[in-house]
Structure 1
Amino acid sequence: MRVCAAPPFAPDAPRADDARWRAHDLLRLKRLTPVESEPGWLRAAIARAPFAVVRRAQAAAEFVAAGVRGATRAERFGTWINVEDIESSLSPESLLAAMPAPERAALAAFVALATLRETPSVLHDFVWGPTGSAGFELAAQVPTLSESSDLDVLIRMPQRGDAATIEALASALAQAAQRAGTRVDAQVETPAGGIALAELAQLAHGKTRVLARASDGVRLVADPWQSS
């Protein structure tokens, strides 16, 4: 997040993850409580699309760490959502059933998504779905992607993935990206946290540790599937 609101709970309040929501889930909001530090664009953004994206940070009971996006890449605001203000939630994988508006389907990121969805590959052995601008547009049904937008996807991999599988995933995504004329960036959700697929693939080529992003922080790990 470019900017983040101060937590609406005591600094020493116990924090934990709420299993009802996971990073990259999209929350449809009934309302967004005003905070002192909110940017000027925030209210217009919420009026246009009343959604926030769950971010990787632990919160006190009855709150969820989330981010609101505006009209540009610079307009990002991290805040804290009261669970009473959440109307519903959408996971990345649930968005595979959503389709863009017909006049938006030719955008490169949506072409890449359609290719991944329709082409048989090892990707379909996993739970996966779009995140980023493509996921937001599919959830909110408001134009969010641009001509130059990449496609971001999340792949859930709770069990150990071997080198051949990781390489096959990277190949499937690269082929879809080439066909669409864009980039496809994948984050793999492991027990250790979210890890870039491109970085995970390097474990098979001599890299000893990869960067894992979890709700309690960022760390380098040698084995994303090893029990802590």
Structure 2
Amino acid sequence: MTVTPAYRPAPVPRPAADEHHGGPRRLVGPLAALDGRLAGPHDLLLMQCPSSLRPLGGGGLPDWARRVLRAHPWVTVGRAPAVAGGPADTPHPVRCTRDVSAAPETWLPVIVRGPERGQHLDALAPRAAVARTLRPEQLAGREALLPPGRVAAVPALAALSEAGRLVTEHRLAWGPIGAVGYELGTGVPVTGPLSPLRLVLRAPQPVSRRDALMLRRALSRLPVPVQAELETRYGAVLLAEYAAGTVLLTLLTPEGPREVRDPWFPRGR
């Protein structure tokens, strides 16, 4: 006797992974969001439960930070060490109610951007509460997601495309950071008419002083101040400082700034 297999409807196509400044919403949680790695400086993190953030200065979140996180639960990863620990040794830990595996926890150093110029809060965020991450390299080309006319009206946004072209000519991976990066990642209009264009340039291998000087001169011709930093395996150094031929450079590391002669082989003085 022949058995007719049960009818199975065709699967319904899922929506595209990326949405305007929101998605993907299907894959959430630290493994999907971080691809099994720790977040790096300048990464943008979308938090599942922003109330789990803990200010470094102690106490609870200020009212302005609560309002910001309710409207736009995005934070920026700072350049500081991550803190590992459980409830007994982590300051004021709270388990994210959406993820029962939040402890023992890795706490990431983050910055909450406020609505006013210079307003920010240093805090720790539980890794288990991260729903999505955006690296600076993923933000280039997202100008099309902003409202029409917004890019042309803001000098730092208008200069981004040309700045990216100049950096790409030097075969460096790059991405916007600061106010421009935050706006491109979240859609929140925080870039002002006087905001500089800040860039991170990935430089795992040494860059010659000559190439750095040529790039610095090219970027300085743009109609907006450009602040670029070379990100090495050990930290970041300002492109302008490195291009100037300074003997001792300030290398920004998770443990704090240190003076080095070579940011790719930081042996100090």
- TM-score tier after normalising by the smaller chain length: 0.7 to 0.9
TM-superposition CA deviations, 1:42-97 (whole Å, max 9, x none): 01111222111110111222111110001112320000000111001001011013
Q: Which amino acid aligns with 1:27?
A: L
The residue aligned with 1:163 is 209
139, 142, 154: which is aligned to 1:98?
A: 142
29, 40, 46: which is aligned to 2:47?
A: 29
Alignment of 1:1-228 (within 5 A): 19-32=37-50, 33=52, 35=54, 36-61=59-84, 62-99=106-143, 100-106=146-152, 107-117=154-164, 119=165, 123=169, 125-175=171-221, 177-178=222-223, 182-203=224-245, 207-226=246-265
| Backbone CA RMSD of aligned residues | 1.8
CA distance in 2, matches of 1:20, 1:34: 17
**Change in CA separation of 1:63 and 1:38 when aligned onto 2, cut-off 3 Å:** same
CA distance in 2, matches of 1:27, 1:95: 13
Using the TM superposition, give the Cα deviation of residue 103 of structure 1 relative to its aligned residue in structure 2, in angstroms: 2.5
Larger fraction in strand: 1
**Change in CA separation of 1:48 and 1:172 when aligned onto 2, cut-off 3 Å:** farther
CA distance in 1, matches of 2:179, 2:220: 19
CA distance in 2, matches of 1:124, 1:28: 32
**Change in CA separation of 1:218 and 1:227 when aligned onto 2, cut-off 3 Å:** closer
For structure 2, list consecutive stretches of 5 or more residues without a partner in the other structure: 1-35, 85-105
TM-superposition CA deviations, 1:135-193 (whole Å, max 9, x none): 00001111111111111110011111112210121022112x23xxx211101101331
Contact (CA 8 Å) 1:28, 1:87: kept in 2 or not? yes
**Change in CA separation of 1:109 and 1:198 when aligned onto 2, cut-off 3 Å:** same
SS in 2 for 1:105: helix
User: Scaled by the length of structure 2, what TM-score is found?
Assistant: 0.71
CA distance in 1, matches of 2:229, 2:237: 5
Q: Percent identity?
A: 30
User: Scaled by the length of structure 1, what TM-score is found?
Assistant: 0.83
TM-superposition CA deviations, 1:102-123 (whole Å, max 9, x none): 2211110011102223x45555
The residue aligned with 1:13 is none
Contact (CA 8 Å) 1:121, 1:172: kept in 2 or not? no
For structure 1, list consecutive stretches of 5 or more residues without a partner in the other structure: 1-17
